[in-house]
């Protein structure tokens, strides 16, 4: 067994783990990251595309926004289409100046990986069997296997940044966590393609055939999603089938100008709302998807991960700079307040924009539920105040100081 020592052990090298690691590095707080898969594998997961201002500000504070500031596209609005009619949500005007930035999670991750490598900070990729020991004692540590060698990482704190399927959340005894979950009866089939996007701004499309999203990564790379049944298999979708179905769900003017091409990536993501109510267990802190999941309809998952990172980072600075551990006790409360706002918004957008068909929802027939949702969407889109409510949440609610 090889023993190493650090101040903060970080489990998971997704955006949460890497961003926290980068902030801690800049503050002179030693940290080691343990990641189960390879760096290339992490970069192969195509996910988020929309960053709130709060995310961008935190990336700047971390010194990680040099490429984001250069290449990220500022979006001053987006659209919600119902059939052939598109309603623009003018984010900038409705919020008094706030916008979002379109810059892929893959690029955020790549930038953070490069900074970490340049700083010479330790990351173990391909680390197997990570386990957290004694998070309640002064003898906290993480063990794992790396290249046929057993390691023990002795630390002050563990940041559980290991996503929904990680081990960190399971380390908190079941009786100490309350888990809230809603699994939706559909998933999103996503395609990335080297084709010009169908519109300059993102478009959320409600249609009789199901929801579709037209997004992008740049002027030459498009990202599209289709609502599909939960048990759908990606093998059933040739590129031709995907484009044909997308065309049927886009407003006609967009469908007519859709440029199609070979898919670079195609995958199905299930939709889920999930919150673990207890994000701390002694010296262990859950961050990002390890503690909560939102359906992607509000573009909130990565952004909520970033607000967790900001809060934990502030609390750790207090510990190491001022020898003050009192903020640690407020981590769960402060983080969850913002998380629940993101959960509510994502759940609401998902309900309004998807087609639940004849499935029973919230104890009522699908047809009844869809009338309520249609009326709700019409009401919000039809008034400036309604559009402002959407805009204010889409750009992201303010970060709370701990």
Where on the chain is the footprint of ligand RFL (CB under 6 A)? 11-17, 34-37, 42, 47-50, 105, 127, 130, 161-163, 165-167, 188, 190, 269, 288-289, 296, 299-303, 305
15 binds, among ligand RFL, ligand PHB, none (CB under 5 to 8 A by kind): ligand RFL
* Separation between Cα atoms, residue 352 and residue 205, nearest integer Å: 11
* Residues that bind ligand PHB in the complex, under the rule CB under 6 A: 48-50, 202, 215, 223, 296-297, 299
Q: Of 49 and 288, which CB lies nearer to ligand PHB in the complex structure?
A: 49
Tokens (6 digits) for 84: 């052939």
Q: Among the options 87, 206, 292, 300, which is catalytic? A: 300
103 in catalytic set: no
The residue among 15 and 210 lying less far from ligand RFL, judged by its C-beta, is 15
To which H or E segment does residue 85 belong? strand 85-89
Single out the residue of 398, 319, 309 nearest to residue 19, CA to CA: 309
Whether 126 is catalytic is: no
- Residue closer to ligand PHB by CB (options 121, 294) is 294
> Within 10 Å of residue 300's Cβ, how many Cβ atoms?
27
The option from ligand RFL, ligand PHB, none interacting with 34 (CB < 5 to 8 A, set by class) reads: ligand RFL
DSSP 399: P
> In Å, how far are 191, 365, 366, 398 from 333, measured between CA atoms?
37, 36, 35, 16
- Which residue, chain included where needed, has tokens 């909520």? 304
Q: What is the DSSP letter of 361?
A: B
CA distance 194 to 216: 10
Known active-site residue 75: yes
Q: Is 300 a catalytic residue?
A: yes
The residue annotated as part of the active site, out of 204, 313, 331, 399, is 204
Q: Give the residue with the Cβ less far from ligand RFL, 216 or 370.
A: 216
Question: Would you say 211 or 369 has its CB closer to ligand RFL?
Answer: 211
* CA atoms of 110 and 107, how far apart (whole Å): 5
**88: number of Cβ within 10 Å:** 17
251 binds, among ligand RFL, ligand PHB, none (CB under 5 to 8 A by kind): none
Looking at residue 363, what DSSP letter applies? T
Is 204 designated active site?
A: yes
**Least Å distance between CB 78 and ligand PHB?**
8
Task: Supply the minimum distance, in Å, between the C-beta of residue 96 and ligand RFL.
Answer: 22
Active-site pick, 225, 296, 313, 380: 296
Q: Select from ligand RFL, ligand PHB, none the partner in contact with residue 223, using the beta carbon and a kind-dependent cut-off of 5 to 8 Å.
A: ligand PHB
Asked if 80 and 251 count as a contact pair (C-beta separation under 8 A), the reply is no
Region of 84 please: left (phi>0), alpha (psi -120 to 50) or beta: alpha
- Residues paired with 401 in a beta bridge: none
Catalytically active residues, by annotation: 75, 204, 296, 300, 394
């Amino acid at each position: 067994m090889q023993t190493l020592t650090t101040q903060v052990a970080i489990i998971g090298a997704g955006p949460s783990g890497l961003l926290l690691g980068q902030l801690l590095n800049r503050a002179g707080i030693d940290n080691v990251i343990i990641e189960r898969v390879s760096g290339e594998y992490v970069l192969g997961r195509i996910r988020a595309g929309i960053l709130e201002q709060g995310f961008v500000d935190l990336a700047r504070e971390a010194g990680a926004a040099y490429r984001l500031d250069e290449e990220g596209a500022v979006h001053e609005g987006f659209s919600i289409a119902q059939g052939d009619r598109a309603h623009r949500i003018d984010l900038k005007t409705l919020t008094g100046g706030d916008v979002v930035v379109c810059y892929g999670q893959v690029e955020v991750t790549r930038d953070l990986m490069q900074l970490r490598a340049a700083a010479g900070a330790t990351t173990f990729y391909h680390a197997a069997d990570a386990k957290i020991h004694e998070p309640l004692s002064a003898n906290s540590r993480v063990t794992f296997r790396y290249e046929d060698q057993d390691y023990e990482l002795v630390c002050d704190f563990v940041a559980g940044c290991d996503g929904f399927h990680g081990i960190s959340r399971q380390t908190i005894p079941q009786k100490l966590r309350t888990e809230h979950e809603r699994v939706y009866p559909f998933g999103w089939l996503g395609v990335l393609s080297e084709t010009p996007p169908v519109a300059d701004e993102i478009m959320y499309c409600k249609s009789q055939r199901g929801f579709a999203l037209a997004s992008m990564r740049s002027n030459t790379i498009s990202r599209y999603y289709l609502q599909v049944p939960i048990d759908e298999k990606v093998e059933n979708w040739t590129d031709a089938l995907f484009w044909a179905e997308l065309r049927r769900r886009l407003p006609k003017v967009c469908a007519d100008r859709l440029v199609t091409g070979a898919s670079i990536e195609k995958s199905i993501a299930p939709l889920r709302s999930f919150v673990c109510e207890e994000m701390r267990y002694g010296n262990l802190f859950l961050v990002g998807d390890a503690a909560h999941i939102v359906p992607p309809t509000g573009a909130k998952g990565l952004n909520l991960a970033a607000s967790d990172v900001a809060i934990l980072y502030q609390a750790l600075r207090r510990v190491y700079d001022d020898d003050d551990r009192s903020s640690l006790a407020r981590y769960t409360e402060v983080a969850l307040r913002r998380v629940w706002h993101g959960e509510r918004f994502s759940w609401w957008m998902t309900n309004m924009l998807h087609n639940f068909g004849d499935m029973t929802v919230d104890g009522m027939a699908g047809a009844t539920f869809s009338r309520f949702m249609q009326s709700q969407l019409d009401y919000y889109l039809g008034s400036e105040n309604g559009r402002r409510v959407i805009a204010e949440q889409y750009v992201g609610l303010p970060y709370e100081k701990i």
